[in-house]
Structure 1
Amino acid sequence: MHRPAPARVGWLHGWVAWAALAIAIATPAWVLPRLGGIQSEATRRLQGSDQRLTRLEAALEHAQSQLRDTQSRTAVLESKMLETAGLQAQLEKLYRSLAEDSTDVMLAEVESAVALANQQLALGSSPQAALGALQEIDARLARQDDPSLGGVRRALLGDIDRLKAYPAADIGALALRLDGLIGTIDQFPLLASVRAAVPPGTASPPVSAGSGAQPARPRRPASAGDAASRASDAAAAGLGALRDELQQLFRVRRIETPDALLVAPEQAYFLRQNLRLLLLNARLALLLRNETLFRGDMERAAAWLRNYYDTEHRGVANAGAQLRQMLGAQIALEAPTLAESLAAVRAARAAREAREARR
């Protein structure tokens, strides 16, 4: 073995020792500043984290405050919604109540209108007026659009069809003709007041030999034949004039009631009033469509006219012809009724009142 080997090993160990010592001395010098930087950075970051945590806590508190405010507002909104729902329910109930009240009022008005039209028909009014009233009522029910009123509309439509098919008698025209006759009664002459009247220019005095008028003298003497002819013509003319005078003085006619000639002038008023009352009663029976009373009063009026009035007078003859013509009119048409519509309206009102009573 060689000796230098231990010396080299020792030297190597020495260097290692010195290197380790240097490293041991240098390490703290290098590590401590870095540790200080790391600590300062950690402190800075910790402070930043604290600040962020503080901000987060503040934000969380603000969020919680907003949440609480939102919750309180939500509670207020829910209460408002509940209140609104309650008000809406009340409004709906009020609307239904108003609608029902409106329907009740409308049904009452419809019943009144149908009853009035039915009464007018019973009194002899024109069916056209009742037809117009029913059509207006049906249009009003159609605008209402209430399914519960379907039965009322069906009854109205049935009565409307019956009124359209009804053969309307001209009662109004007959009543107007009777009014015209009643207004001319005062112009009718009575039999007791008839006097012979000579029309102007119809009677001429007969020509006689003793009259003051002298015929013109012929230029030549007349023969015996001419004289006899003139005498015959004069006699015929005289007899004709005498006959005309006698016809004006005496009138021969058949009088069925001789008492009519004995009527005093002060009784003429009562005769005219009696005829007027007969015609007024006939007019009332006509409007009531009572054919029996109408014909009875008309026949009595015609007989009264024949017995007490001068039937040769133009006005009296015209009145008698009108009475006979009106006696031939057919008025025995049964007046239509609106009983079906009236019953349907009353049934609808009773059903609604029963529903209201059960509530």
Structure 2
Amino acid sequence: MALLVAAGAAGGGYWLWQQDQRLQAQHSQYLVAGSVQADLQPMQERLSALSSELQQLTQRSSGPGEQALARLDKGIAELGERQSRVQQQLAKQQQADTDLQQNAQQLKQRFDELARAKRAAWAESEAGYLAFVAKNRIRFYGDVDSALAALKKADELLADLGGESIEARRGIARAVDSLLKVQSPDRARINRALHQIGERLPELPLAVGTGAEPVASAPASAAAAEGWQAQAGHAWEELKGSLSKLVVVARDLKVVPLVTPQERFFLHQNLTLELEAARLAALRGDQALYQKSLERAREWLGLYFDDQSAEVQDTIRELGELADEPVTVALPDIGPLLAPVERLGFRSAE
């Protein structure tokens, strides 16, 4: 029994010890849970406060942010619309610039066409005038060189006009060909030869005779009122009358020189006038006056100068050769050939 009581007491003690240990463990857990609960409560309260503040902050910030966002969206939309309008305006401006450039190009083309038309009209008018000048230079002056120069210029003006000027240029070419066939007299050589003869006149020896009487000259007022040809005629008549009394050509008589300077002066002056008349007639193409003036000069040289002198003989011979020179030629009538050119000029002037 004692053993049983001792065993029962030991078992009961062990059970009690286990219960005590369990109660201590539960008490420890309770204490820890109470401590955690005490620590968690402030945290829950802080979390609750933070959650409340966050909700309030969210509520306070959500209104202006959305409004600002709405305003921003609205501004972006307005900017988009403005950009769209600007792009449209830019597109319209670009189209206007394109239209303006096209109009400017069309105007330039039109201006160029008008300018070409004006230049063509001017060229046709100028060519017609040059053809008129060439025709009159041949008709009234016999000036082949000037006519050829005018026709060359007229052809240059018509060269750039195209097909409309073909007929006119053909007329110019025919007129030029006809003028190139003309054998023009060498008027420059004739003029130079007559000038040299006139310079030699004072050195030619005069014929000799007997006696000397002064030669009366025409009154100064009457001489001034007449032309040089009339004066030359009067001087020649006076000289012939004076020399008919003054000079007697006699080869078997003793040589007596002319001692009166007045007769020598009038003789040289009349010969000079005849040579000048021949030069003028050569320039004008007056063959009759040219030959008549040279024949009269030769006659005076033979009558009143020493025809035995080599200088006088050479001068008479040279005047005879010059008298045989043609100073005028039969010039072609280029008027009908240049009619297309003149018509072209008249059309442009209308």
- TM-score scaled by length of structure 1: 0.54
Tell me how far apart the structure 1 counterparts of residues 94 and 173 of structure 2 sit (CA, whole Å). Answer: 54
1:191 maps onto 2:207 in alignment: yes
Q: 1:169 aligns with which of 169, 172, 185?
A: 185
Deviation at 1:94, TM superposition (A): 2.3
Tell me how far apart the structure 2 counterparts of residues 266 and 146 of structure 1 sit (CA, whole Å). Answer: 71
Tell me how far apart the structure 2 counterparts of residues 81 and 193 of structure 1 sit (CA, whole Å). Answer: 105
Contact 2:127–2:155 (CA<8 Å) still a contact in 1? no
Query: What is the alpha-carbon root mean square deviation over aligned residues?
Result: 3.6
Q: 1:298 aligns with which of 290, 294, 301?
A: 294
Q: 1:79 aligns with which of 86, 89, 96?
A: 96
Per-residue Cα deviation, 1:240-274 (whole angstroms, up to 9, x for no partner): xxxxxxxxxxxxxxxxx854617743121111111
Report matched runs for 1:1-359 at 5 Å. Answer: 69-107=86-124, 109-111=126-128, 113-114=130-131, 117=134, 121=138, 122-125=140-143, 127-128=144-145, 130-142=147-159, 144-192=160-208, 258-259=244-245, 261=247, 264-336=260-332, 338-340=334-336, 343-354=339-350
The 3-state SS of whatever aligns with 2:307 is coil
Per-residue Cα deviation, 1:259-307 (whole angstroms, up to 9, x for no partner): 4617743121111111111111111111111111112212222212222
Tell me how far apart the structure 2 counterparts of residues 108 and 319 of structure 1 sit (CA, whole Å). Answer: 52
Q: Which amino acid aligns with 1:314?
A: A
Q: Which amino acid aligns with 1:261?
A: V
The 3-state SS of whatever aligns with 1:330 is coil
Structure 1: gaps spanning 5 or more residues: 1-57, 195-256, 355-359
- 1:134–1:353 CA distance, 2 compared to 1 (3 A): closer
Tell me how far apart the structure 1 counterparts of residues 131 and 197 of structure 2 sit (CA, whole Å). Answer: 35
Contact 2:125–2:348 (CA<8 Å) still a contact in 1? no
Question: How high is the sequence identity, in percent, across the aligned residues?
Answer: 21
Deviation at 1:318, TM superposition (A): 0.9
The 3-state SS of whatever aligns with 1:99 is helix
Tell me how far apart the structure 1 counterparts of residues 330 and 246 of structure 2 sit (CA, whole Å). Answer: 40
The 3-state SS of whatever aligns with 2:247 is helix
The 3-state SS of whatever aligns with 1:79 is helix
Total equivalences in the alignment: 235
- 1:348–1:77 CA distance, 2 compared to 1 (3 A): same
Deviation at 1:346, TM superposition (A): 3.6
Tell me how far apart the structure 2 counterparts of residues 161 and 287 of structure 1 sit (CA, whole Å). Answer: 24
The structure showing larger relative contact order (alpha-carbon pairs under 8 Å, at least 6 residues apart) is: 1
